[in-house]
Amino acid sequence: MVIDDINANGGLLGRRIDLCLEDSATIDSVAEAKATKLVKLDKVDVILGGIYSSTRQAIKSAAVVCR
């Protein structure tokens, strides 16, 4: 709902927001693979998530390497 409201009001800084969801299953290798997919294929600008610090590090590693 919030994304629809933001997009209806012109988006964020004039850009439309699209939500891409992936499930890391709280497994570091899965989180890294999903983050890589999001960055390389989906061309996302922001990744949110990672409950455990090791999962966040896996996501961070994938995002940094892909950029």
**0.75 exceeded by the pTM?**
yes
Burial degree of 8 (CB within 10 A; 0-12, 13-18, 19+): exposed
37 neighbors 22 (Cβ within 8 angstroms): yes
- pLDDT surpassing 70 at residue 50: yes
Q: What's the CA gap between 23 and 14, in Å, rounded?
A: 29
Q: How confident is the model at residue 49 (pLDDT cuts 50, 70, 90)?
A: confident
Residue 35 CB neighbours (<10 A): 26
Q: How confident is the model at residue 62 (pLDDT cuts 50, 70, 90)?
A: confident
CA separation, residue 43 to residues 6, 19, 26, 46 (Å): 20, 12, 22, 9
